A and B are shown apart, each in its own frame.
Chain A
Amino acid sequence: MYKMYLDGYATLTGVATAEDFAPYLEWRSLRRMEGMAKDALLCSCRALEQAGIDIKIPKDMGLSIAVGGGALESTCKFMDSILADGDELSSPTAFAGSVHNSTGLALSLSLHLQGPCVTIGQFDFSFPAALLTAGQFLQSGASTQALVVVADDVNPVLADCAPQYSAQFQHIVRQLSGPFVRHSAAFVLSAKPTQYTQFELKEISFSRTNQDGKETLPPAEKLARLLAAGTSFELHDLFAGATFCLKGDPYVKPK
């Protein structure tokens, strides 16, 4: 199984602002960018800063992106434009933004990432799969570092449906209040320890089971809380027919 070293991480609940970006990027350069992509980009800037990586220089860092519902803001905008003006006057820009890997594009453009890039879209279990993909980049030698990003947005239809039809949604929505807040995260992982390494991640496992447990927090958020505690951890997540396990220890620099 993959062993990786965590050099930086950041999370964001809510919406990234121009002021948040001031230390990193010109707000104008983020024009046309999906809201959740901006959130993910901000987390990435903060995580990369922690990891001692200059966001302005081209690098072949791998990019492994976990999306939940995908680029919902643009998808809804595109559907709105079809409903308002018809197929022949619908917005091409909204369609371009609605493609699932538009977050990947935004990050690769703004952070000058020219390494491998994969986007995974399977709701809660995108993050475990994205961690595996980062491990795969590092072990195959496609890159020596990887940025794992979680990006999600509120689905406005779900926000209305789920409270109204709660019985149909209980087994698939972690908390009825959970998906109605925008959330993103970024983790910088390296194949070998660096001077910035905070944690050693090991024993990632992820599989499909017939057991159906219920957890209340999505795995990326759980991991961020465990990392913040600063001690050795074992993360177990069991939800909707899948299990995920990750162990980690604070990294101790050899003397």
Chain B
Amino acid sequence: MQQMINEIKDMIAQGIDLGGADLSSFGENDAIFGEQGMGLDSLDAVELIMLIQKKYGITIENMQQGREVFKNLGTLARYIQENRKK
């Protein structure tokens, strides 16, 4: 789990411009979106969907589907582990 979480954080850091934010302290229960979490917004969400598709071969069709998956780093890590094609 921790390895997947680290992979996800690297993917976000490389693929999304977060203005130099340090993601090292974020863990399994931390929200991906919003100022209380990692600070991503809805535009970052669609970029993240693309990054996940590119790296893991998983297609997320719409934001409704994304909402549950992106709740926090833990939910996203589990979703990728269960559904990855690459």
Contact = CB atoms under 8 A, between A and B. Distances in A.
Interface of B: 16-21, 43-44, 46-47, 50, 53-54
Given A28-B21, A92-B47, 8 more contacts: A28-B20, A29-B19, A31-B17, A32-B17, A32-B43, A89-B54, A92-B43, A93-B47
A27 B54 CA distance: 29
A132 interface: no
B57 to A, nearest CB: 11
Which residue, of B16, B19, B46, has the highest number of chain A Cβ atoms within 10 A? B19
5 contacts: A28-B19, A29-B19, A31-B18, A92-B47, A96-B43
Interface in A88-104: 88-93, 96
Interface in A128-162: none
Given A32-B43, A85-B54, A93 B16 contact: yes
B47 A91 contact: yes
A92 B17 CA distance: 13
A30 interface: yes
Given A85-B54, A89-B53, A89-B54, A31 B19 contact: yes
Contacts of B50: 89-92
A15 to B, nearest CB: 16
A85 B17 CA distance: 19
A85 B16 CA distance: 16
A27 B43 CA distance: 19
Nearest to A93: B47
Interface string A1-32: 00000000000000000000000000111111
Given A91-B47, A92-B47, A27 B53 contact: no
Interface in A21-63: 27-32
A30 B53 contact: no
Contacts of A29: 19
A29 B21 CA distance: 11
A92 B46 contact: yes
Contacts of B44: 93
Contacts of B43: 32, 92-93, 96
A85 B51 CA distance: 11
A161 B50 CA distance: 33
A5 to B, nearest CB: 36
Contacts of A89: 50, 53-54
